[in-house]
Amino acid sequence: MKKIISIIWLVCAAALHAAEVTASLSSDTVPAGNGVLLTITVTGGSPERQPAFPEVKDLIINPRGTSQQMQMFNGNVTRSIAYTYVIGSNQPGDYKIPAIKVRVDGKEYETQPLNLKVGANADKAPDGMDEEKQPDEPGKFGHLSFQMIASDRKHVYPGEIAPVKIRAYFPADARVSLTSAPRPEGSAFTLHNLTEEPSQSSEILNGRRYLVVTWFGGLSATKAGEYPASFVLTGTVAVRDESARGGRSAFGGSLFDEFFAPMVQKDVELATEDAPQIEVRELPLEGRPEDFTGAIGQFEFESARLPDSLHTGEPFQIEAVVKGAGNFSLLSAPHPLPAKDWKIYKGTENFVPEDVASFGGTKSFRYNAVPLAPGETEVGLGFSYFDPEKGEYREVKSDLHNVSITGEVVKPAEIAEAVEPEKAPPEVPQIAPLATELGAVGSYASLSESGWFVPALGSCGLLSLGILGFGWWKQREIDPAKEAQRANQLATKLALENAAQAAANGDAVAFFTAAKAAVRLGIAQREGLRPEAITLADLDDSKDGMMIAILNEADRVDYSGEKLSVENLKAWNEKLDTCLGVPAAKRKELAA
């Protein structure tokens, strides 16, 4: 509550301050057809209504919005309201925006007058394109329309550039993603200088709002005959599915119905319906001037500059500017008249378009020429073109200019190489020279992006590990220590078998010989020593008592020659097996 009271107090306090009304332009110059922002700011008061604009001829004013701002500085509150307008004109000229009246808190205020300069428009449509030609009811996903030259001419000539306007109509609430610019259907026509950034506008057609995308370009015929001038445009259009709105709405209103209706997306190819048949006529041979270079349209001199005095054999520079509309690309430099008295060299030319389709504009030429014959003469410049409206060739001559040419008659061959104009220095920084060798085809893709790469690399790693494992296993097989161990085990087994056999036969000498060998082999295997190197001193009394007893008994029998009974020998054999750790089952087998 305290906050609300504070805000009311602040607003009231702000109202007590004197109001101020100002107007400003975001730029004081603008091309025709474009707009600048005009902002009217009311500070320190509450306007009672929108600012009132006096009418200015050809000036277009569209409101854009209102914004409010509140500032508090050292306890002083300032509130400002800004009214924003887009202002511009389609007609070039200097416009004066008079004082705009704003009534604030019962008092009338005025802004200061403003000046706006509207310049020529290079983005304007080609002449004759202003008339709107609206299509029939567009389809659900859109419609393409096509408008050719303003006149009713239904024929063109090969090489002629005819300005066209192509408009695509889409439902206002559609989401449109174009995948191509408009292009002619078939091979009879080509489209030149199509606007890279088409203009977008909103239009109401048959009571429904549409998003309209407009391109301008030049249509050129490639071959004689009669062909339909049809264009296609591809893209993806998503519109709300009106059929899904059936039944009662939970919200009871069409706004919500539209908002919640599902979007239907479709890849569309829009084509111009009822494409007009255009006759492409061959250029007539009759009456074709010798200097005709293919220029078709309407052209005239804007200016031509020649010096007053010249000297034969010495080059001078000719400058000429031609204006008009047509295929400027095929318009060559005007030549001095009469042509046989001059030698001319190729120069530079520069075209400045006046519309987005590069149809109308001016082309300036600058080149060197050398007079070949002396005398006082009237010199002019000339060129020729084909007028498609009248269907005839036209020769254009500039105003004649008195020129005094001194010197002797010069033959063209004498000066051909001497006066070749120097090449103008490049305007752009130099880049590395072009490659002249074609080279091999490469690939952006890394091998690692192939599906086989990782498995192949992994297989190599696993294979390496496998090979190393196999090598280790084989190495283990041929290890001398292991070999000796296996031989020892075999010899021990053989000695035990011999001992068991001798015990069964009652041969005490053979038994104890085999027993000593078995004990030595067993100890050698355990201690890692050679069997023949084993002595009684190597044995531990506490651990190897039984083995010591067997060895002692063997020495005693060996020296005494005493004969022991079979039972006695079997008992010693049992002890032998026990101390060498022979399993019971094995012992039984040996005993058997």
Partner 1 sequence: MKTINRMIPAFLCMAAFAYGATADDFKKANENYAADHFAEAAQTYEGILEKDGPRVAVLNNLGSAYFKAGDIGRAILAFERALVLSPRDPDLLTNLELAQKQAAVFPVSDNNAWQAFLAGYSARRWSQLALFAGIFLPLAALVWVLMPGKRRIALAAFAVVNLVVLGVAVSAMDTKSGESARAIILGKPATVRISPFEKADNRGTLSEGREVSLGEASHGYYWVSADNGSLEGWIQKSELAPVIPREAGW
Q: Which window, 14-22, 325-333, 438-446, 566-574, contacts partner 1 (CB under 8 A)?
A: 438-446
Per the CB < 8 A criterion, the answer to whether 165 and 147 are in contact is yes
What's at 481, amino acid-wise? A
- In this complex, which beta carbon is closest to partner 1, that of residue 170 or of residue 359? 170
Minimum CB distance to partner 1 smaller for 206 or for 448: 448
Do 499 and 491 touch, CB atoms closer than 8 A? Answer: no
Residue from the set 317, 338, 470, 533 that interacts with partner 1 by CB under 8 A: 470
x-or-dash string of contact with partner 1, 87-106, rule CB under 8 A: --------------------
Q: Which is nearer to partner 1, 55 or 196 (CB)?
A: 196
Q: Which are the contacts of 88, defined by CB distance < 8 A and separation ≥ 6?
A: 30, 32, 33, 34, 35, 36, 59, 60, 118
Q: Which residue, 94 or 241, is less far from partner 1 as judged by CB?
A: 241
In one-letter notation, the amino acid at residue 161 is: I
| Residue the block writes with tokens 């301008």 | 216
Judged by CB under 8 A, the stretch of 45-53, 394-402, 451-459, 573-581 that binds partner 1 is: 451-459
Q: Two tokens at 118? A: 């509207």
Should residue 366 be labelled a site residue for partner 1 when binding is judged by CB under 8 A?
no
- Smaller CB separation from partner 1, 42 or 176: 176
The 3-state DSSP class for residue 125 equals coil
Does position 478 interact with partner 1 (CB under 8 A)? The reply is: no
Residues 508, 570: Cα–Cα separation, whole Å: 10
Q: Could you write out the DSSP letters of every residue in 518-544?
A: HHHHHHHHHHT--GGG--GGGS-TTT-
Choose, by CB under 8 A, the member of 256, 260, 351, 453 that binds partner 1.
Answer: 453
Per CB under 8 A, 440 contacts partner 1? yes
- Supply the DSSP string of 43-96, one letter for each residue: ESS-BSSPPBPPP-TTEEEEEEEEEEEEEEETTEEEEEEEEEEEEEESS-EEEE
Q: What is the end-to-end Cα distance of the chain in Å, rounded?
A: 114
352 contributes a contact to partner 1 by CB under 8 A: no
Q: Which of 57, 390, 474, 476 binds partner 1 (CB under 8 A)?
A: 474
Query: What is the spatial distance between Cα 259 and Cα 268, in angstroms, rounded to a whole number?
Result: 23
424 touches partner 1 (CB under 8 A): no
Judged by CB under 8 A, the stretch of 308-316, 321-329, 464-472, 509-517 that binds partner 1 is 464-472
Report if residue 456 touches partner 1, rule: CB under 8 A: yes
Contact between 443 and partner 1 per CB under 8 A:
yes
- Which helix (H) or strand (E) segment holds residue 12: the answer is helix 2-16
Is 457 a binding residue for partner 1 by CB under 8 A? The answer is yes
Angle, vertex CA 113, rays to CA 107 and CA 115, nearest 5: 155
Show the tokens assigned to 565.
């009974």
Q: How far is the CB of 432 from partner 1 (least distance, A)?
A: 4
**Nearest-approach distance from CB 473 to partner 1, in angstroms:** 10
Of residues 457 and 591, the one with the C-beta less far from partner 1: 457
Please identify, using beta-carbon distances, which residue of 175 and 394 lies nearer to partner 1.
175
Of residues 207 and 433, the one with the C-beta less far from partner 1:
433
- Each residue 166-205 as x (binds partner 1 by CB under 8 A) or -, in order, gives ---------xxx-x--------------------------
Binding of partner 1 at residue 442 (CB under 8 A)?
yes
d(C-alpha 168, C-alpha 273), whole Å? 12
Binding flag, residue 428, partner 1 (CB under 8 A)? yes
- What DSSP line would sit under 491-510, residue for residue? HHHHHHHHHHHHHHHT-HHH
Q: Which is nearer to partner 1, 211 or 325 (CB)?
A: 211
Instruction: State the pairing for strand pair 225-228/175-178.
Output: unpaired
The smaller minimum CB distance to partner 1, of residues 248 and 423, is found at 423
447 binds partner 1 (CB under 8 A): yes
**Nearest-angstrom CA–CA distance, 45 and 17:** 7
Nearer of residues 287 and 466 to partner 1, judged by Cβ: 466
The binder of partner 1 chosen from 438, 537, 584, 592 (CB under 8 A):
438
259 binds partner 1 (CB under 8 A): no
Q: Which of 233, 236, 177, 239 is nearest to 208 (CA)?
A: 239
Q: Per rule CB under 8 A, is residue 537 in the interface with partner 1? A: no
Do 124 and 94 touch, CB atoms closer than 8 A?
Answer: no
* Using rule CB under 8 A, residue 477 touches partner 1: no
- CB-CB contact of 337 with 382 (8 Å): yes
Binding site for partner 1 (CB under 8 A): 175-177, 179, 236, 428-429, 431-448, 453, 456-457, 460-461, 463-465, 467-468, 470-471, 474
